[in-house]
Each structure stands twice: as structure tokens, then as C-alpha cells.
Amino acid sequence: MSVISVFDVLGPNMIGPSSSHTAGAVSIACLARKMMNGSIKKVEFVLYGSFAKTYQGHGTDRALLGGIMGFATADKRIPESFSIARQRGISFDFISNETETEVHPNTVDIIMTNEDGHIMTVRGESLGGGKVRITRINQVAVDFTGEYSTVIIIHMDKPGVIAHITRCFTDEGVNIAFMKLFREAKGKTAYTIVESDGAFPENVPLEIKKNQHVKDVMAVEL
């Protein structure tokens, strides 16, 4: 566990009623939003476990939609997020999945479609106290929290890609706090997730992208 701050205890500052079902939902959706380029036109939320059972009474639906529009946990517009989304031309839908039980009790899949018709699915879990983690991007299992500035690199599982990625960080003098690798299968699509202390210069994602085996780079800044 990372170091606990006084504001982890007295905080988050949040729209109620629940740190896991409301604030955590905002944070998951906000992270998902940052991973998607362009403006979002359509979003579908598939809710599991306790999220599926009690989402209306906890405002989880409004919280998720608010997060997709970039609202923070303390944003007073969250209760109005349905009407704000409609004004912005974002279509949205909530689906309860109570049959799938092999998931963390507060899990949501967020399926986003942007203006170019590009579709991306992000799975997040709300761990309590407003803490969250992202556990899946499209079909690949991943693991990061968004508590650090994070770069997600989608690439082919080929030799030399990781060395290239770390070099890009080193060249810009950025310290890597955590680094994790995930892959669909040997030689197939892989995900590398790098979390750094403090922000990284814009150059880092651009440089990483130059490698021929890198398909996409997503930067999730704090």
C-alpha cells in the first residue's frame, strides 16, 4: 500500500453518498475518459455486484456519467450529470449484470465510443474510501490506480520495446515509480503500464510512439 496521507483519511472531498459507490465511480470513469482520445459520443456502463444492485440509490449512475465528462469527485454538477450529458450530445446507458459473480463487488465496464467511431472498453473496481483501480483495457487484464501519472503503451510483444520505453523516460529525466507488463499471448498485443513520480514531459509519449512495434500510447496525467 502506498503511504497514507492525512487527506486519505479526511477526504476525499466528495459528492455523497458513498465513497465507494459515488466518489470511486467518478474516479474510475474519469480515468477511463483520460484514456480515450477525442470527444465521447456514446457510453455504456455495465455494472456488476453491489454496483448492479444499488447503483440508483447511491447515485453511481450520475457519478459515472459525471466522471466521463471529466468532473472531479467534489464537482457539484454530478447530481445533474444526466441533463448535462444530454446537452453535450452524449448518449448513455446503464446495464446491470447480476449473473457474472466472479468479479470484485464494485466493478464496472465502461464502453466508450468517440467521435471517430473508435470504441474502447475499460474495467474499473472501486476499492473503498474512494480508492480505485483499472483492471482491464479492452480484453487485456491490467492493473493501475491513477494515483500516479501513468503512461499506458499498447505494443507488440517483441524484444527491445521495453528497453525503448524505459530509455524514453530516462532521456527526459523522469523517475519510474512502478512498471508492469501484460500481454494477450506470446508475440501478440501487450500492454506496458508505467507510473512515474510527478508529471512527465509531453515528449515522453511522443518518443515512445516512434518505435515500430508501438501501436498506441495513452497518457493519464494526474
Partner 1 sequence: MDMDFRNGKELLELCQVHYRPVSEIMRLRECQIGSVTIDELTEKMRHAVEIMKEACFLPIKKPRKSIGGLIGGEARLLNKHHAKGKSLCGNVLSRAITYAMATLEMNTSMGLIVAAPTAGSSGVIPGLMFALKEEYNISEDRIIDVMFNAGAIGYLAMRNATVAGAVGGCQAEVGVASAMAASSAVELMGGTPEQCLDAASTALMNMLGLVCDPVGGLVECPCQSRNAAGVANALAATEIALSGIKTMIPFDEMLEAMYSIGKKLPTELRETALGGCAATPSGCRFAQSVSLT
- Which residues contact partner 1 (rule: CB under 8 A)? 1, 3-20, 22-23, 50, 53-54, 56-59, 62, 74, 76, 78-79, 105, 128-130
What is the grid cell recorded at 185?
499471448
- DSSP tag of 213: T
Strand-pairing partners, residue 126, are 132
Scanning 97-187, the segments in alpha helix (DSSP H) are: 161-171
For 90, the grid coordinates are: 452524449
Output Rg (C-alpha) for the chain, integer angstroms.
Answer: 17
Q: Which of 163, 139, 142, 143 is nearest to 214 (CA)?
A: 163
Element of type H or E holding 6: helix 6-9
By beta-carbon proximity to partner 1, the closer residue of 15 and 134 is 15
Cβ count near 185 (within 10 Å) = 8
Nearest to partner 1 of 11, 216 (CB atom): 11
Question: Which of 126/150 has CB closer to partner 1?
Answer: 126
59 versus 205: smaller Cβ distance to partner 1: 59
Task: Give dist(CA 54, CA 96) in Å, integer.
Answer: 10
- 19 or 113, CB closer to partner 1? 19
3-state secondary structure of 3: coil
CB 169 within 8 A of CB 200: yes
Q: Which is nearer to partner 1, 105 or 120 (CB)?
A: 105
CB of 57 to partner 1, least distance (A): 4
Give the span between the Cα atoms of 194 and 176, in whole angstroms. 7
At closest approach, how far in Å is the CB of 17 from partner 1?
4
Rounded least distance, CB 128 to partner 1, Å: 4
Helices (H), 23-160: 24-35, 49-54, 60-68, 81-87
Shortest reach from residue 98's CB to partner 1, in Å: 13
